[in-house]
Amino acid sequence: MPVPKRKRSRTRRDKRFANKGIIPQTFAHCPSCSKPCVPHVVCQFCGHYKGVQVVKVRVKKAEAGPKDAILASVKK
Ligand SMILES: [Zn+2]
């Protein structure tokens, strides 16, 4: 009967269960801006929850794309 040559170290044995507790996070798409967001939580991109604006969201200048910069310059 085949027998393992050496005892598996604690570290090597425990590595098998290292990822057991990791649960992939579920996400849904926001109905107003259709970006991926956590369900049952206010959308971090547009501040909507159940179709109602709950939180005002500021857009940082670094995050705003070149299209927003053009729009801002036209408005002035
Ligand atoms: Zn949204």
61-74 pLDDT, tens digit each: 666 666 665 555 55
| pLDDT over threshold 80, residue 2 | yes
3-state secondary structure of 21: coil
Residue 1 CA, ligand 1 centroid: distance in Å: 62
3-state secondary structure of 31: coil
Write out the residues surrounding ion ligand 1, Cβ under 5 A.
30, 32-33, 43, 45-46
pLDDT score for 25 = 87
Q: Rounded to the nearest 5 degrees, what angle is found at the Cα of 27, between the Cα atoms of 21 and 29?
A: 175
Render pLDDT for 12-51 as a digit per residue (tens, 0 to 9).
999 999 989 888 889 999 999 999 999 999 999 999 999 8
**Tokens 């929850």, residue located:** 49
Residue 20 CA, ligand 1 centroid: distance in Å: 32
pLDDT score for 59 = 75
Decide if 24 contacts 16 (C-beta within 8 A).
Answer: no
pLDDT score for 4 = 95
Q: Which residues pair with 29 in a beta bridge?
A: 36
